[in-house]
A and B are shown apart, each in its own frame.
Chain A
């Protein structure tokens, strides 16, 4: 209670950082709406909600490991592999077992694969103690290779209708299903990060492995599960994106690596570890999605969009360096 009363006289310096991102997002939307009113048309708003929900999962996958002062370069490859394998499971089970079971099996397989890939990363980072950058760089190429090999390099079509409906087109209380799932996952993740011992330890070990170790925490186990969580989140993204495109794509996640890290960092997670809340992937995903949808509406050349995102990434990292300067 004490510190809450202390901060009541509207300490702008404490509040300003929290307002920066929402204002920036609103600014971007207003800017593009002024140029092109279609930006705030009903259809486009639903589109923004869907896209940013999909994107939220990869950004959140990144957040969980960034908190531990790690990285996951393999999220994109994970998305691709989940997309390919779960599609194959669904298409092969469809005639025999019926849509319901097929879709259910596909989703379960996808999640299991995500968890397994995360476990591989986690084992190499936490138990073999290899630099996470190298680990995920290597597993990125391994997973991508497997995805192309398994699919033969071609998209997998003829997914059951029910799959796309259940994970993309369905609406609950007028909200698109990806948004509903994103909301539920965000809440669960927030709960894990702030109210469980596991979440607490992730922050502490991100700050310093030794502190957590001296504090009697099982550092390796927690680190391992952070990567598993990240893998599962990426798998959810893979399933939802597959439902959106309607086919299993071996290069579905290729472009996600960079933008997922960008989203998490712009949203306020520090690469120095130990910081970052659930708001980071939410704001980051919204900001980047609004920007790219806005640029699409303005028919800005597709090649230039990465330039803007790259600039934002460096800006976000500079902001992070500035925030944590002198620590």
Chain B
């Protein structure tokens, strides 16, 4: 019984009706989905056949996540048709999708941190004998699937204690524990090392050969080139096109995704590198997310941080802003050494930080525009008397000014932050950078979840700031963004700086070669330059 649950062919023979390669598994026609006024998907078309890897390609916020959530029943849809295994679907739930043979590897972990690996793998589908959990049998099955995937995981370990990459492995094992006909992978390699990723690709190709239909969400070109049979491109919640990978070049794909070429997309930022404003010397973070960091931030240029998710690049920015305690090393700002660093101190040293997580750190969602735009500047003479009494007229006129300047679309000054769309929220947060005098601007994932228009406007802000002689630091997981926006790029891997590229050296090839561990010698060489 357990044996063929793991082997897809055998399982299909016993569990699900037989299927032919090329048979249509999923068919979506003219699907619409909106959240209130926000249209997440419009006129979506999608088709998945048995034995193919179908890549969903698009930027953050293009609607990829919404689409796969609809497929596996986490979200409903408003109109259009959804056929699964040639049967029309009206209501789908996660449990039903699982029973029908649709497995999904989520990008946001669907794991319970306080539970063990084993308990998580079987969550919702535990094997039982009568009322009792069949623990021995489950253990056997867990070992079988982990061995087959080549993952070195302890089934009894608590997920809370695992590294991010290991948690990702648990996610993957969770999806492949059961026989399935459709496997959905949402950026599965986001936190894997190169070797682990290669192992995963082998497994995915094996599963394709076994006749599964695989939906693969990614925006990483090398993966797509290696795996994809067909690619469906989304942009701003709209269906753009479905193309055969074999006769499409990467350039064409990117053009489809962005709706324009790179050259017109990213602004040309003039570099006029001035004096050093901030210096990291041998900084190691207390939480161990990054170590031995040494670099400098200069006026009039954009410094980029690149690397895989979890490589420590955003922690570097957080440390610069006093959100991560240091265990050794020092950060100097101008001539002052930042000791007992805190956001308050950072702001007073004219450092401004835009967190990647707008919802928890960036904006107070039920407060109005005014209070969100001035919260970092309440000590300033401009907005308060001796840091005690608010100057409300000044706040109002500032809010009005930034709405105009940053083209924030809002129902009014007293609208709450959560009434704005993703891009306008991001612009509202950026407005804070204009609320008082700053020299250094730290952007952590500046364009996550914003539409193209807002993205361009944010790039424009970065350009203006840099050309006005400010220092700008960007950490981004979007390779194209770091690559085209930065004058200088620092690449990080597993908490360490593995390379620093300057000016013309910043190319996709050079960056990617630093991303993964196998390029050790080259990376070290580059590291030494710095």
Verify whether A and B have any Cβ pair under 8 Å: yes
Which residues in A have some Cβ–Cβ distance to B below 8 Å? 2-3, 6-7, 195-198, 200-201, 203-204, 207-208, 210-218, 270, 272, 274-275, 324, 327
Chain A positions within 8 Å of B343 at CB level: 213-216
30 sampled A-B residue pairs with Cβ under 8 A: A2-B400, A3-B413, A6-B412, A197-B387, A197-B388, A197-B389, A200-B375, A200-B378, A201-B375, A201-B378, A203-B371, A204-B371, A204-B375, A207-B366, A207-B367, A208-B360, A211-B360, A212-B364, A213-B323, A213-B361, A214-B355, A215-B375, A215-B378, A216-B376, A216-B379, A218-B344, A270-B366, A274-B367, A327-B365, A327-B418
Number of interface residues of B (CB under 8 A): 37
Report the minimum CB–CB distance from A210 to chain B (whole Å). 4
CB-CB under 8 A from A274, the residues of chain B are 364, 366-367
Whether A203 and B367, one on each chain, are in contact in the complex, defined by CB atoms closer than 8 angstroms, is yes
CA distance A23 to B390 in the complex (A): 33
Chain A CB within 8 A of B347 CB: yes
Q: Which of A2, A200, A210, A215 contacts B390 (CB 8 A)?
A: A200
Decide: B390 and A207 in contact? CB cutoff 8 A.
Answer: no
Report how far A211 CA is from B367 CA in the complex, Å.
Answer: 11
- 14 new A-B contacts at CB < 8 Å, known A197-B387, A211-B361: A3-B411, A3-B415, A195-B389, A195-B390, A196-B388, A200-B375, A200-B390, A201-B378, A204-B364, A204-B367, A207-B366, A208-B365, A217-B375, A327-B418
- Please report the C-alpha to C-alpha distance between residue A212 and residue B344 in the assembled complex, in whole angstroms: 10
Q: Which residues of B have CB within 8 Å of A3?
A: 411-415
Contacts A200-B390, A203-B364, A274-B366 hold; do A214 and B323 have CB atoms under 8 A apart? yes
What is the chain A residue whose CB lies nearest that of B435? Answer: A215
Mask of B353-382 contacts with A, CB within 8 angstroms, 1/0: 101000011111111000100011011000
Interface string of B317-330 (1 = CB under 8 A from A): 00001010000000
A residues within 8 A CB of B92?
none
Which chain A residue shows the least CB distance to B360? A210
Once the chains are docked, how many angstroms separate the CA of A195 from the CA of B378?
Answer: 12
Task: Give Cα distance in the complex from A1 to B432, angstroms.
Answer: 22
User: Cβ of B392 < 8 Å from any Cβ of A?
Assistant: yes
Give Cα A195–Cα B388 distance, bound, in whole angstroms: 9
Kindly list chain B residues whose C-beta atoms are within 8 Å of the C-beta of A201: 375, 378
Tell me if B309 is interfacial: C-beta within 8 Å of chain A: no
Which of B361, B364, B413 is most buried by chain A, counting CB atoms within 10 A of its CB? Answer: B364
- CB A298 to nearest CB in B, in angstroms, measures 39
Decide yes or no: A211 and B366 within 8 Å by CB, A196-B390, A216-B344 being known contacts.
no
Report the separation of the CA atoms of residues A274 and B416 in the bound assembly, to the nearest whole angstrom: 11
Q: How far is the CB of B400 from chain A (nearest CB, A)?
A: 7
